[in-house]
Amino acid sequence: MNLVRQMFKNTRLTILLAVVLLVLLIAGGLFGQTQHQPESFDGLIQKMAVDTLKSDPETQLYFDVKNVEGIRWDPTKLTDLSDADYELLNDKRNDLLKKLNNYAAAKLSPEDKLTYDILKWDLSAAQQVYKYWDLNTNDYLSLTNFPPYFANNYPIRSQADAKNYIVALNGFSDKVAHVINRIQDRREKGTVPASEFLKEMLTS
């Protein structure tokens, strides 16, 4: 179990690094430059960034990419943790990996080739982890990390912001319900988190 947990921990880190890379590309002004054609590598990366972030309001909030081109942050929404959301995310990941595999990477500059290799490796690793989804405990931990994470990043500068914050928080019960349902489904399959993990969750 420790090996499996470490695998998910390492993959979570690589996914975070990939998202950071995409965010840096957005902030660096690579996106929205009209001289790039849709089939360019920059155009492909732009689509990957938008597809990765547009349905994840909490990540948009964390990296402060709430209103860049193609992404519109909804201040009343939280990131979904339902099985359907994870399946959709995996489908998107597979589609993006297919596009990378079909791209003429040999023509890229050394810098772009490095970006290409990092993203392709990250998506391939995430694909492998999805096969063992029933062993993943990241969503449990995300619930314990949510309160300080959300409170420290949500901008409240007006009465309207405060109202939106409350509306968003009201959605937390749905996140918890999704995780509880997943725990119950996994328990019926015989998958129960290790006692070491449960202790870590209770004390985090």
Note the pLDDT of residue 165. Answer: 95
Cα separation, 61 vs 59, in Å, equals 5
Note the pLDDT of residue 2. Answer: 36
Note the pLDDT of residue 52. Answer: 80
In terms of residues, how long is the chain? 204
Cα separation, 46 vs 69, in Å, equals 9
Question: Per-residue pLDDT for the chain (204 aa), expressed as one digit of tens each?
Answer: 333 334 334 444 444 555 555 555 554 544 444 343 336 888 888 888 888 888 889 888 888 887 777 788 999 999 887 888 878 888 888 898 998 999 999 989 999 999 999 989 988 888 887 777 777 777 777 787 888 888 889 999 999 999 999 999 999 998 888 888 887 888 888 877 667 766 766 666
Cα separation, 81 vs 167, in Å, equals 17
Cα separation, 138 vs 50, in Å, equals 23
Q: What is the 3-state secondary structure (H, E, C) of 105-158?
A: HHHCCHHHHHHHHHHHHHHHHHHHHHCCHHHCCHHHHHHHHHHHHHHHHCCCCC
Q: What is the pTM of this model?
A: 0.67
**Contact (CB, 8 A) for 182 and 83:** yes
Buried residues in 155-182 as b, exposed as e (16+ CB within 10 A): eeeeeeeeebbeebbeeeeebeebbeeb
Q: Could you tell me which residues come within 8 angstroms of residue 176 by beta carbon, excluding any fewer than 6 positions away?
A: 143
Provide the residue type at 169 as one letter: L
**Contact (CB, 8 A) for 43 and 37:** yes
Q: Which domain holds residue 86?
A: 2-203
Number of domains composing the chain:
1
